[in-house]
A and B are shown apart, each in its own frame.
Chain A
Amino acid sequence: MTETQDHKPRMLRPGKGPTVLPKSGWTAPLTSFCAGVMAFLAVLTLAASFAANAVAEQWRADLAGVATVRLSTRDGDVDARTKAVLEVLRTTPGIAQVRVLTAKEQTALLTPWLGEGAALSDLPSPRLIDVRLLGTGPDRQALQGRLDLTVSGAVYDDHSAWRGPLTTAAEALERMAIIASLLVLLTVGAIVAFAARATLIANRHVVETVRLVGAEDSYIERAFVRRLMARAAAGAGAGAAIGALAILMLPSVETGDAALALALEPSTLQWAVLILGVPILSVGVTWLAARGAVRLTLRAMP
C-alpha cells in the first residue's frame, strides 16, 4: 500500500477530522455576539444585585443594635437634662452603652448637607446621644414614656421608621437584579434555541444524508450542540470579561459611606461568579437550549 500511503487523503491525517456540519458563513459570529452581549448584561445585573445586597446588609448591620436619643436644646439647662436622660438610659434593660456625641462629631454628621465651615452653634441642632442596644433593645414605647416623665424634649429613635423602607427597597432592588440576570440567561437560551433550529433547517440536507448513512440522533445532536456551545463560550467569555472591565472602570464615589464603598467592590467570590460563573452558566444554558431545540427538530423527521 505504499502508493496509497504516499497519497493520504486529508480526512485520514491525525487531528484534521472534518466536521459533519459545513461552515456557517457570516451568521456564525452572530451567536457569539448575542451570547457576548447577554453575558455582559448578566455581569452588570449580577453586579447590581451584589451591590444592592451589600447595601442592604450594611444598613442592616449598621442600624440594627443602634438607636439615638435627640434632646431639644431650646428648653432649660441642657447639661442637666442630658444627665437625666443618660441616667434613664443606663437604668433601662436592653441598653448596653450610651454616649453623648461631641460637637465635632455632630458637625461631621451635618457637613455632607451644609458643607465645610458651617457654624453648628448658629443652628438649633439637638443634642444627640448614641445608644448601643443589647439584643432587640428596650421596649420603645416604655422607654419613651420614662423619658417624657423625666425630661421634656427627649425623643428615642431606633431608626425603624426609615430603616424598614430602606432595607425593603434594597432587598427589592436585589431581587429585581437577580430576576434580570435570570431573564438575561433565559434570553441566551432562546437565542441559542433559535440559532440551533435555524442551523438545523439550513443544513437539513446534510442532516438527512447523515441520518440515512446510519447516524443516530445523538450523533447529529452532538455536532450541533458542540458547535453552538463553542460559539456561546467564546461570546460569553468575552462579554463577561468586558462586563468585569466596565465595573472596574466605573468612577469611584467617595462619599465616605461604607455601604456604598462596599457595593462598588465585589468580593473575590463575587468576582469569580461574574467572570467565571456567568460564562459557565451561559454555556450550560446553551447546552440545554441547543439540545432541546435539536431534539425537537430531529424528532419531527422520520
Chain B
Amino acid sequence: MPNVPATHAGHLAPLLPDGTIRQLVARFAGRTNQFHSQLHPFRRQTPQCTSITRELLAAKRCALGSGNRVCNVVRERAQALQCGWGTRLILLDNVSFGYGGRETLSSVSAELAPGSFQFLTGPSGAGKTTLMKLLYLEHLPQRGVLSLFGQNPTQISRQALAKLRRRVGVVFQDFRLLEHMTVAENIALPLRASGNDVNEHEQDVLELIRWVGLEARAEALPPQLSAGEKQRAAIARAVINSPDLILADEPTGNIDPEMGARILRLLIELNKLGKTVVIATHDLSLIRASKGQVEARMLRLADGHLAQGAAAI
C-alpha cells in the first residue's frame, strides 16, 4: 500500500487487502462527483465549483492509474463540498424534538464543517440517539431549523428527502441489518434502494466485503454473525453509496475493545478519504483512542441541551 500514508496503512492492515482502498476511493469518488453534479444545482451555477468538478473528474481518471492522485481527489472533493455548502455541512439552529410531549432535545444549535470528524458524547438519555435520528432524517425537527447539505428537510418533497438520505451513511446502534438478506445483500441494499442495478456495481460490493473482512461471511444471514461482524457489515452498507456524511451511533457499543479500535480506525480512514464522520458514543476510551490519529472535535449533550459545542479534543 505505498500510496496511502504509512500510519493509515498500518491501521488498516488487519482489514484491508493491498490496493483495495485505492480502488474504492477511485470508484466512489467518481460516482459521488457524478451524483453531485446531477443533484446540486447551486454548485453547478458557481463557476469555480464547476471547474473543480471538472478537475475532479479528470483526477479520478488519473487515480485509476495512479495511487498518488487518490488523496488529491479526496481533498479536492472536500473543497468542492465547501463550495456548495459553505463551511456548514450540517446546521442545527435551535432544534428541538421530543417524544409524547416530553422534549428530548431542547434548542440545540451547532454547525459541522464538511470533512470534519465529530464525536457526540453525553450520558445515557442525553439525547445523542435522538440527535443522530434527526441527522439521518428518521425524525424531523419539531422546532428550529435543520439544514443538511444546504437543504431543509422539512421543506423538500419526500422524493428529495429520499435522495438526501442517500448522501448520509448510517451505522445504526442496533445495526438494522435485514435478517432475511445475506451480508452481501444487506451491503448492496442502498444501491438497490437507490434504483441501481446491483450487478453493475458487483465490484464495489465485493471490494467492500473484502474491505471489511467479511468475504468468508458474505452469504451468511445476520443472525449467524457476531456483533463485530454485524458492525462491519453495517459500516460497509453505510459507505456503499459513497455518502458525504457518515453517522455512527455507538459503533463500539456491542463489541470488544480490540474490534472497537479497528472500527474506529476504519471510520478515521473514511474521514481521511473526505467523508464527514459523526460518532455518537458515551465511551470516553474511544475518544481518547482517536487522539493523534485524527483532528476530532466533540459535541457534548446533557439533558437534551448542548453542553459543549464542537470543541477540539
Q: Mark B153-192, 1 if CB is under 8 A from A, else 0.
A: 0000011001101100010000010111111110011101
In the complex, what distance in Å separates the CA atom of A210 from the CA atom of B188?
A: 11
Q: Kindly state whether residue A23 has any CB partner on chain B within 8 Å.
A: yes
Q: Kindly state whether residue A208 has any CB partner on chain B within 8 Å.
A: yes
Do A212 and B170 form a contact, CB below 8 Å, given A9-B219, A11-B185? yes
Q: Kindly state whether residue A117 has any CB partner on chain B within 8 Å.
A: no
Provide the residues of chain B in CB contact with A7, threshold 8 Å.
215, 218
Q: Kindly state whether residue B195 has any CB partner on chain A within 8 Å.
A: yes
Provide the residues of chain A in CB contact with B199, threshold 8 Å.
12, 14
Is B193 within 8 A of A214, CB to CB?
yes
In the complex, what distance in Å separates the CA atom of A219 from the CA atom of B162?
A: 11
Do A9 and B183 form a contact, CB below 8 Å, given A1-B206, A4-B210, A302-B138? yes
Q: Kindly state whether residue B241 has any CB partner on chain A within 8 Å.
A: yes
Provide the residues of chain A in CB contact with B110, threshold 8 Å.
none
Q: Kindly state whether residue B136 has any CB partner on chain A within 8 Å.
A: yes
Q: Kindly state whether residue B203 has any CB partner on chain A within 8 Å.
A: yes
Number of interface residues of A (CB under 8 A): 32
Is B198 within 8 A of A10, CB to CB?
no
Nearest-CB residue, chain A, relative to B193: A215
For residue A261, give the distance in angstroms from its CB to the closest CB of chain B: 56
Provide the residues of chain A in CB contact with B170, threshold 8 Å.
212-213
Nearest-CB residue, chain A, relative to B189: A213
Q: Kindly state whether residue B139 has any CB partner on chain A within 8 Å.
A: yes
Is B203 within 8 A of A1, CB to CB?
yes
Is A10 within 8 A of B178, CB to CB?
no
Q: Kindly state whether residue B237 has any CB partner on chain A within 8 Å.
A: yes
Do A216 and B189 form a contact, CB below 8 Å, given A9-B182, A12-B202, A302-B140? no
Is B194 within 8 A of A214, CB to CB?
yes
Interface residues of A (CB under 8 A from B): 1, 3-5, 7-12, 14, 17-18, 20, 22-23, 205-206, 208-219, 299, 302
**Besides A7-B218, A9-B182, 4 new A-B residue pairs in contact (Cβ under 8 A), listed by A number:** A4-B210, A18-B181, A213-B190, A213-B237
Interface residues of B (CB under 8 A from A): 136-140, 158-159, 162-163, 165-166, 170, 176, 178-185, 188-190, 192-195, 198-199, 202-203, 205-207, 209-210, 215, 218-219, 237, 241
19 contacts between A and B (CB under 8 A): A4-B207, A9-B182, A9-B218, A11-B185, A12-B184, A18-B181, A18-B185, A205-B176, A208-B138, A211-B165, A213-B237, A214-B162, A214-B241, A216-B158, A216-B195, A217-B158, A302-B137, A302-B138, A302-B140
